[in-house]
Each structure stands twice: as C-alpha cells, then as structure tokens.
C-alpha cells in the first residue's frame, strides 16, 4: 500500500499520522515545526479503513488518556545515520523520565555535539511515538519542541510519576 494518512482529534489538537506500506512514518501536529508538505502525506483515509492507521490512532489516544505507556507499532522514520542514532536513543527514554541533548551527545561518543543532537531531535518525524518531548535542556529546562512548548509540557505532565503517597488512605 502507498503513502496515506489520517487525522486524529486529540486534546492536543488534531494530529496527522502518516504511514507508508506497513510502517508508520510520521506523526505531526497542525502547526508542527518542520512539518512536511501536505501532499507528501498521500491521500487521507479514515483510520477505521486502514488497519495500521487505526491501530496507531488507537494507541495514540490510549497513551494520551493515560491507558498506554508504550507503543507497539512498526515505525520507519526517515533520516540520516546520525539522526537515526539519536532517535534510537530517544526511543529508549523511559516514560516519566527525561534526558538532555548533552547526555545523548555523550552517549553517542561526543559530548560537544549537543547542538547537532538538538537538530536531530527537532527533525524527529515521529514525535510522541519516538518521545522527543522527553529531551530537555541542561538543568532540566524546557527547550524547543516541534509541536510547541505547551504540548511538550502537557506530554511531560501526562507521563509524570504519581507523587509519593498518592492514593494512600493514611
């Protein structure tokens, strides 16, 4: 099957999920920085009419509702070797945790490449599915997010661990 997309209504606004063949290749917010041209998404299809897009939409909505903590989807982000290496590290950041651009650069063997890591994170075509919102600036500062800082904050708050003692009766 060729490239196609669906648009999912969420509390974060409409989200476009793009698939090519048997893999998800993109997830974009409406005013996403570096959003590809609409015509590259292929025709719009109802999620229910496409098994892959339907599953991706279901998992996304479950995640945003707090019912899903990990995604189980075939993903195929397009990027160069450095971007792929960065995205592979980003994909391993556990829910409820963050890391910095510098820490990723160090993990790749060159802590001086934090800026390059930031560029790769910003080019992530699968935000949320590859959780680039979990990458923060030095000292934990909220820095750029292709979907906007308001969405980054909302995603981090959604994933934040419950405070110690929450739900206790005594």
The Cα-based distances of 58 to 17, 33, 50 in angstroms read: 11, 24, 12
Residue written as token pair 């409820």? 96
Residue 45 buriedness (CB in 10 A; 0-12 / 13-18 / 19+): middle
Q: Residue 78 corresponds to which tokens in the numbers above?
A: 């397009």
CA atoms within 13 A on the CB side of 39: 0
Whether 137 contacts 100, CB under 8 Å = yes
3-state helix, strand, coil in the chain (%, to 5): 40, 15, 45
Task: Report the C-alpha gap between 129 and 156 in whole angstroms.
Answer: 14
Query: Is residue 132 among the annotated active site residues?
Result: yes
Name the active-site residue from 132, 135, 146, 156: 132
Catalytic residues: 132
């Amino acid at each position: 099957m060729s490239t196609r997309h669906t648009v999912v209504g969420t509390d974060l606004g409409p989200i476009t999920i793009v698939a090519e063949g048997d893999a998800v290749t993109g997830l974009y917010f409406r005013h996403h920085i570096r959003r590809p041209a609409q015509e590259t998404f292929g025709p719009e299809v109802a999620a229910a009419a496409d098994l892959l897009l339907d599953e991706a939409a279901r998992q996304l909505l479950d995640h945003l509702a707090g019912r899903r903590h990990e995604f189980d989807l075939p993903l195929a982000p397009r990027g160069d070797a450095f971007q792929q290496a960065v995205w592979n590290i980003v994909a391993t950041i556990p829910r409820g945790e963050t890391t910095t651009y510098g820490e990723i650069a160090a993990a790749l063997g060159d802590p001086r490449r934090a800026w390059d890591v930031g560029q790769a994170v910003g080019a992530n075509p699968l935000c949320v599915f590859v959780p680039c919102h979990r990458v923060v600036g030095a000292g934990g500062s909220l820095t750029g997010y292709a979907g906007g800082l308001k969405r980054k904050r909302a995603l981090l708050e959604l994933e934040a661990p419950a405070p110690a003692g929450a739900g206790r009766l005594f």
